[in-house]
Amino acid sequence: MRFEKELYQVEKITVGNDTIEVRAFRNRIYVDKPVQEEFQQMNVFAPETYYQGGTIHGYSLHTAPIFMPNLVGGYMPGMAGEPVGMPWEQEGIPNTIFRALQHGYVVATPAIRGRVLQNASGEYIGKAPACVVDYKAAVRYLRHFAKELPGDTEKIITNGTSAGGALSSLMGATGNHPDYEGYLEEIGAAKERDDIFAASCYCPITNLEHADMAHEWQFLHVNHYHRMHMRMDEGGRPAFTQEDGQMSELQIKASEELAKRFPDYVNSLKLRDENGALLELDAEGNGSFKEYMKRVVLASAQRALDFGAELSDKKWLIIRDGVAVAMDWQEYVRDITRMKSAPAFDALSMDSPENDLFGSGQTNMRHFTEYSRLNSLTGGEMAEDGAVKRMNPMKYLEDNAAVKARHWRIRHGECDRDTSLAISAMLALKLKEISCEVDYHSPWNVLHAGDYDLEELFAWVDEIAKS
Ligand code: DHB
């Protein structure tokens, strides 16, 4: 394993009215036995002033936190980032990496394998848990060359959105766990720790084997769906098409059956609110957990009200003297609308991104829940338990062999319908219970998105880095 310290570029980059000067260490292969070099390499950037003894916000060459975003979406391969020129960025508007460097962070941005990659013999080489394994290998590489690289490897903060948010949560939940060791050895990862200081997770699409039931618990009786399909155009920019439809009888039946399975799962977690009260659901899906979820949404509305938003058009929301006091859950769900038909993740036709994620070297798509395996329309195979477990941070929170990130920031938009709001809430609650420090809320009127509040994100990083 190599890190050529003398191989770098110093670049002055201007976006809009802002200019930064950075030292760029690009295309560093972070494992000894890569299976796909393009997606097992990393770019590392540091403010150039650090090499002249300068400081930014009190940070210097070896004290600056290492902000480590992944650019994974849809569990597809994620590319290594750049401070300018990413396909989706808007002209003249600094991207996350640019802003992080300007703020004084070192930025390490690994490419990561994804579900569609194949080798020359047609074997799949990016199925679960390859994405987590690569992210861990990149952290290990940073530690292995800590003396040569900029930044403080005890202050690594991962960041990602959606599938990338899920990966960030896995990084925070599974530090050094032996479950990943064999995979890390296979690709020749450095023999170092892979636990991290903090995880920033936007709308994590995670806890996948329980995501169908959580989704139907939330969206039950909303049988019409609206969804946007994203594909990349020729220029690599996202392009969207709209699909609307009514769920079939089979899908409505799946929705009802899956919704019935959620209370047992929630109750098995023995979640507690900030006052220690148990959060549960009865067989109808009502109870203290649902009341807690209403409080998450009400808190979201309250923050919007406090910032002067006008919410009187929200008929499901009861506001008295500027205070969001109550809500009608069913009408709220109708208002935000359903995006995915049932089952939302482990599709009966076995053609979802998650079916693809849980494929194997030889099999492209597999099921990963008992319900969809039993009701499969394709007779597809089931992924092995270990693969499903390795993709679920919830499975590691009470396992002492996993070193947890001490600090967490989780954001999941109030009208995000890619996964149930319960998914992030359960993660946040469990993390608090095991004494992690968690900053969780659901920003008002925010869909499935990330990095929309960088000032607040960086303020959080600064606070935990200096504490
Ligand atoms: C993503 C979104 C989804 O709805 C999903 O099921 C998986 C991944 C994403 O945007 O990364």
Spell out the domain ranges in the chain.
Answer: 9-206+392-466, 208-269+340-384, 270-337
Q: What per-residue string of b and e applies to 320-349 under the rule 16 or more CB within 10 Å gives b?
A: eeeebeebebeebbbebebbbbbbbbbbbe
**The two structure tokens encoding residue 220:** 């039950």
Q: Ligand 1: which residue has its CA nearest to atom 2?
A: 74
> From CA 359, how far away is CA 367, in angstroms rounded?
8
Q: Which of 205, 226, 368 to mutate to test the pocket of ligand 1 (most atoms within 8 A of CB)?
A: 205
Biggest CA pair distance of the chain? 67
Q: Which of 418, 419, 420, 447 to mutate to test the pocket of ligand 1 (most atoms within 8 A of CB)?
A: 418
pTM of the model: 0.97
Query: Which pLDDT value is given to residue 260?
Result: 98
Query: Which pLDDT value is given to residue 368?
Result: 98
Q: Which of 88, 162, 212, 448 to mutate to test the pocket of ligand 1 (most atoms within 8 A of CB)?
A: 162
Query: Which pLDDT value is given to residue 304?
Result: 98
Determine the distance separating the centroid of ligand 1 and the alpha carbon of 340, expressed in angstroms. Answer: 11
Query: Which pLDDT value is given to residue 352?
Result: 97
Determine the distance separating the centroid of ligand 1 and the alpha carbon of 266, expressed in angstroms. Answer: 23
Query: Which pLDDT value is given to residue 235?
Result: 76
Query: Which pLDDT value is given to residue 233?
Result: 78
Beta-bridge partners for 9: 24
Query: Which pLDDT value is given to residue 241?
Result: 83
Mean pLDDT per 10-residue segment, the chain (467 residues): 96 98 98 98 98 98 98 97 94 97 98 98 98 99 98 98 98 98 98 99 98 98 89 76 92 98 98 97 98 98 98 97 98 97 98 98 98 98 98 98 98 98 98 97 97 98 96
Q: Could you give the C-alpha distances from 466 to 57, 67, 249, 455, 459, in angstroms and in order?
A: 11, 15, 55, 16, 11
Report which secondary-structure segment, H or E, holds 198: strand 198-202
Q: Strands 41-47, 106-110: parallel, antiparallel or unpaired by DSSP?
A: antiparallel
Query: Which pLDDT value is given to residue 239?
Result: 81
DSSP string, 303-348: HHHHTT---TT-TTEEEETTEEEEE-HHHHHHHH-B-SPSSSSS-T
> Considering only the top CATH level, what class is 9-206+392-466?
alpha beta
Omega before residue 353 within 30° of 0, cis: no
Q: Which atom of ligand 1 is nearest to the CA of 164?
A: 11
**The two structure tokens encoding residue 156:** 């690594």
Query: Which pLDDT value is given to residue 459?
Result: 98
Determine the distance separating the centroid of ligand 1 and the alpha carbon of 334, expressed in angstroms. Answer: 21
Ligand 1 pocket by Cβ (under 6 Å): 73-75, 162-163, 205, 353, 418
262, 283, 284, 255: which is closest to 375 by C-alpha?
A: 255
Q: Which atom of ligand 1 is nearest to the CA of 345?
A: 6
